[in-house]
Structure 1
Amino acid sequence: MKPLIVIPARGGSKGVPRKNIKVLGDKPLIQYTIDAAKGVFDDEFICVSTDDFEIKSVVEQLGLKVPFLRPNELASDTAGTYEVLLHAISHYESEGYFPDTLILLQPTSPFRTSKHIQAALDLYQEELDMVVGVKETKSNPYYILFEEDSNGYLKKSKEADFTRRQDCPKVWEYNGAIYIINVKALKEKTISQFTKVRKFEMDETASHDIDTLLDWKIAEIIANSQEI
């Protein structure tokens, strides 16, 4: 395997301002992900992709070189992760390194550890498009999710006649913590178009994703109640 680990860290954040370098527990949020990545990979394969000088400075103070600052077109609210990943791959290829496996680790998942990353890697095979971190969803479409029909009436998102949630088929949601991606597949199609995808199941704590201030407050409780 020729890995490239990409940690995307844009400067702008509306839900929690400057969250990527905001201190959680006793360290900047992004350090949790950097530490997890370093527990599995050599520094030379870990790329923090950012548009922000302050984030670059914080990361380099942690001992990790930031190879570039993203161009302006990849720094806006509308810039997609797909383009950010392709940009990182292109940069490393221009330097003579041709990764075949991209590991996407979002800094908003601080409780995903090195052990999780390694376990997900163990599931990855070359014929797959992706191994992705998931958690079992509480919003089961067979039971508690509804859509409006043409008359404005609510109907189940997936028609079924289950009387107990426990009897419904298990349904998974991506938790945003780990994506192990086949670079060849990524160059051909977007992540949402992947068909050969295997799940890596994670618990609710490891799956915790920070998007809002409430998410941050919950993360503070978790960080202060356990050793990461």
Structure 2
Amino acid sequence: MNILVIIPARGGSKGIPHKNVKELNGKPLICYSIDAARQLTTDENICVSTDDDVIIKVVEDYGLKVHFKRPAELATDCAGTNGVLLHALEFYEKQGRKYDVVVLLQPTSPFRETKSLKEAVALYTSDIDMLVSVKEAATNPYYNSFEEDAEGLLVISKGDGTIERRQDAPKVWEFNGSIYVINSTRLKEVGLSKLNRIRKYVMDDLHSIDIDSMFDWYMAEKVISSHLIEN
């Protein structure tokens, strides 16, 4: 497959200022995803999409060329990932480089393993829209998850409420934000939100850590300092 790895990294992080270049265990956060991408393909097929000059400098000091600066309208708080991916694909297509597959690696997932990334890509086939990494959902809607009814009373979110043990409930998965393997043709046809033929790749909670807040950051540091994971 002809693969383009896209690492989206806008500069306007609110929860953790300049999160993408903040050092985790002595290495800028974004560099963990660059290292993972380099185990999958060559630098010419790795795209860091950013609007931020500081991020560009950090990435290029790490040896990866940033070929374009993301437009401001794709770097606002309201801008979605779909536009970022399409913009990157269009940039390369104008250079005569077309890609069958986009592998999206969020820089906020520093603990994804090379093994997981390669296994996920290997599971992808061209007859699906997307393969995504998941973990077992922390809250199962069939058990111990409730919503309000018309009277303002709590009712079980899904099912008939007869499941008494969590292990008896059907397994439910949630995206962990680590790996997305996307059919680029379908992405251009219908957009990211309408991709519906989706296959999963399961990861454990530890390797699924997604850094979105300072609490998440402290947890990541604790994982490293406790030698629970190799980095």
- Shorter-normalised TM range: over 0.9
TM-score by length of 2: 0.97
Mapping for residues 58-137 of structure 1, pairs under 5 Å:
58-137=58-137
SS at 2:88 equivalent: helix
1:181 has 2:182 as partner: yes
CA contact (8 A) 1:120 1:180 kept: yes
CA-atom RMSD in angstroms: 0.9
On the 8 A contact 1:134/1:172 being kept in 2, the answer is yes
The aligned counterpart of 1:206 is 207
Q: Distance in 1 between matches of 2:118 and 2:195?
A: 22
Q: 1:145 to 1:190 in 2, by over 3 A?
A: farther
> Match for residue 4 of structure 1?
4
1:133-183 deviation digits (Å, cap 9, x = unpaired): 000012000012111111111111102311100000000000000000000
Tell me what 2:143 maps to: 143
Secondary structure of 2:6's partner? Answer: strand
AA matched with 2:186: A
Could you tell me whether the CA contact under 8 Å between 1:129 and 1:196 is conserved in 2?
yes
Compute the displacement of 1:206 (Å): 1.1
C-alpha distance in structure 2 between counterparts of 1:200 and 1:180, whole Å: 10
Q: State the SS of the aligned residue for 2:177.
A: strand
- Cross-structure match for 2:23: 23
Q: Output the CA distance in 1 between the equivalents of 2:49 and 2:217.
A: 22
Q: Secondary structure at the match of 1:32?
A: helix
Gap regions ≥5 residues in structure 1: none
Q: 1:227 aligns with which of 212, 226, 230?
A: 230
1:16 shift after superposition: 1.1
Quote the sequence identity (%): 54
- 1:113, distance to aligned residue in structure 2 (A): 2.1
Deviating beyond 6 angstroms after TM superposition, the runs of 4 or more aligned structure 1 residues are none
- Point out the more displaced range, 186-195 or 87-96: 186-195
Amino acid at match of 1:144: N
Flag structure 2 segments of 5+ consecutive residues without an equivalent: none
Amino acid of the residue matched to residue 92 of structure 1? Y
**Shift of the alpha carbon at 1:196?**
1.1
1:48 corresponding residue in structure 2: 48
Instruction: Number of aligned residue pairs: give it.
Output: 228
